Amino acid sequence: MRRYGFHGLSYEYIAHVLKERVGEAARGRVIVAHLGNGASLCGMQDLRSAATTMGFSTLEGLMMGTRCGSVDPGAILHLMEVKGIPLAEVGQMLTREAGLLGVSGLSSDTRVLLEHEQDNARAKAALDLYIRTIVREIGALTALLGGLDMLVFTAGVGENNPVIRERVCRRLGFLGVALDDAANSQNASVVSSTNSKVVVRVEPTNEEWIAANHAWQLLRSQRAG
């Protein structure tokens, strides 16, 4: 079995646009946070993936909208051997009934959970756990990269939810991450403050463009051959 990794089209696109927009700085120690209904992180050096939180399947790593993220394999064995839950039901649970939806019992959408966190303990617990796993995995990737020069948020939550970005970055203050609140609230391209030791960017991803470009390059090579 090989550790495959996912969201490759998104990370390839971000690497492409970073090279165009920030030049040589893009070749430093960069973590890209693809936060959508599915979520993962990729640690990059010299614009190439050095480590990612998703592995053999789309279940590993961060807590997601309906996917569990990393769990103790013993918990899965417990569900099947002790609770007697069939394999198919466990698969359904881990893929479609876990994550933000499973913990909150309310929604897989961070916007909905933010609206209810003050009066719903499970919604608050889901958001707290979601932020905790993102921060934990950013810390792990930073250790593997030997430091952090740039943090990039992308995908639905990463691009459009300033509250989630603020909560993640607040927990990363020990790395020298500092946000510009006004820029963050406007989903600006650069949301870090001038005194931040880590540049924090918001970059819209475009997986479809990468897929179309690969298809076009393949077609051209076939015609040339």
Where exactly are the structural domains of the chain?
8-224
| pLDDT surpasses 80 at 126 | yes
Q: What residues does 175 pair with on adjacent strands? A: none
Of the options 3.30.420.40, 3.20.10.10, 3.40.50.150, 3.90.1150.10, the CATH number for the domain spanning 8-224: 3.30.420.40
pLDDT number for residue 65: 98
On the CB side of 136, how many CA atoms lie within 13 Å of its CA? 12
| pLDDT surpasses 90 at 218 | no
Cβ pair 150, 25 in contact under 8 A: yes
Mean pLDDT of 103-121: 98
Mean pLDDT of 138-159: 98
Length of the chain in terms of residues written: 225
Task: Give 52-55 contacts, CB < 8 A, sequence gap 24+.
Answer: 52/5, 52/6, 52/7, 52/11, 53/137, 53/141, 54/4, 54/5, 54/6, 54/7, 55/3, 55/4, 55/5
Q: Which helix (H) or strand (E) holds 224?
A: helix 207-224
pTM of the model: 0.94
Q: Is 159 left (phi over 0), alpha (psi -120 to 50) or beta?
A: alpha
